[in-house]
Structure 1
């Protein structure tokens, strides 16, 4: 009985040792597979004796004899210079781009034989550069004078600002809104750019600036919309845009709300963007109230329903839908042609 127990103990120890060796072998095999077939295989340099060298010259004894053939002379057309190009490098820019002239001295004029040289002209080399920050602090330094007889102090008045009591210049207000709306640069990135440029302003201050700047532009938008409603032809479309957060009670409370822009395009290249939370008929009615003419749309169902209600109220609106490459000459006799339209429907050839 004791012999069987000892034998069983010995076999169990050998089995455990064998399992350890098998596990170590599996780990080594996995390592070799990663070296041959994994990401690290690209870093391994394999010296293949049968493969030729790409960047070394062949030995003279192994090179083949060189043969030559005559080639006819030819001429090459020079690159034509555009009218707006400044120089042969092709750099094009308008007069609105600021330029900084850097004068480079000629070493010969500072040497021992400088009297042997004279300046007969200059050559310009243009390079496009970028500055670290585009912000500048305007300091209006006003003189304070004192009248000698009455000892009265007088100073020049400070220049007026678009926002009373605001540190922002009108150029900053315009830049914030243009960068946000035209170049899709949100205010948080503009705020970070200001901090990197050394200007310390809170993000809430930027939001306040943009909000007040929008209110300054509201009368212009109202005037444009009134002018467009007096035209004979308008194009209208709806474009989805994410804005705001959904309700917390819903399951998708962390997602953005689906809202809509309603661009209205007039014959004088005027575009007015209105906004609504949905694509209901009432928003179309509110925007077209007072319009009499031809309305071009993509055929969405809210437009016929809105036109029907406006017609019952006394307005005269003709609804027209169109497709790509559809002839709209009958609708626009003063500018004939064929419309090449893409969604959203905004194109000059409509009018």
Structure 2
């Protein structure tokens, strides 16, 4: 994992500022950051419970990475493009996606991929790194159309080992596309530690090969992430091209609910260390309390509000009719190919043989 001593940091784990943020961060924004991080962590925990109860499919948790996602998403404007992976539902929610639709996605509904009106939020991308190239395309298109929009592509450390990573950086650098590449480096590409993926000390240093600025930030410092993304947006909109950001963080739980992290990392030791010393939410809460911006009464009110919001979203999502297996054949091609038709017919036949309705 990247060297913690070489990262850009604004808010220490003890909740102390090491950089003057006057004029850069309003107190209302700081509180909004905290409220959003509490919301998405509660959403993440609820989702894991739902999966364990059989009410949702396999789920990719993100607890521990809230600062990277919330801080970056809050830096965007309404019309900016968001390209999430399968783990960036926190960023999508902050940028305007409803929690009900995120639930629907993990319940197997196509409706879970629909972007809200007026927002450019792409569906979660499961193939590794492919969304990075797409983000360059939308950013370049925005530049050609003289729109004031950027594209933000999320990816993990494992994606930096894919060819799409290099193609996207090269393409964006050549065409000065206003793209922000945000890597959440949590130290493990599923089960492979960062040290076994690359001999590079950081992912951010790879930007130099494409003449793209690379910045390594403390991914658990929401202020550092927010300010870094803001600077990258300004740079992109000024015509100076893309920025590569590496946010060093740690995912507390499993890669997905189908994964057992104890097989490849010292789960209890590492998680306890990050929870007790570097947790992004506790760090910000400590800071806000010192400033007199937060207290126990506000915390209780927020927790109640968050629980009610999540429950309302869940009721809405579970009111949808169950997805049909045949839905998987829809929207694959503009016109179904013979192979798609044949596969659907085989499914229909097997269901009839089992006495099931299609």
TM-score (norm. length: structure 2): 0.19
TM-score (norm. length: structure 1): 0.19
Higher RCO (C-alpha under 8 Å, 6+ residues apart): 2
Indicate the structure (1 or 2) with the bigger Cα radius of gyration: 1
Query: Which structure shows the bigger proportion of residues in helix conformation?
Result: 2
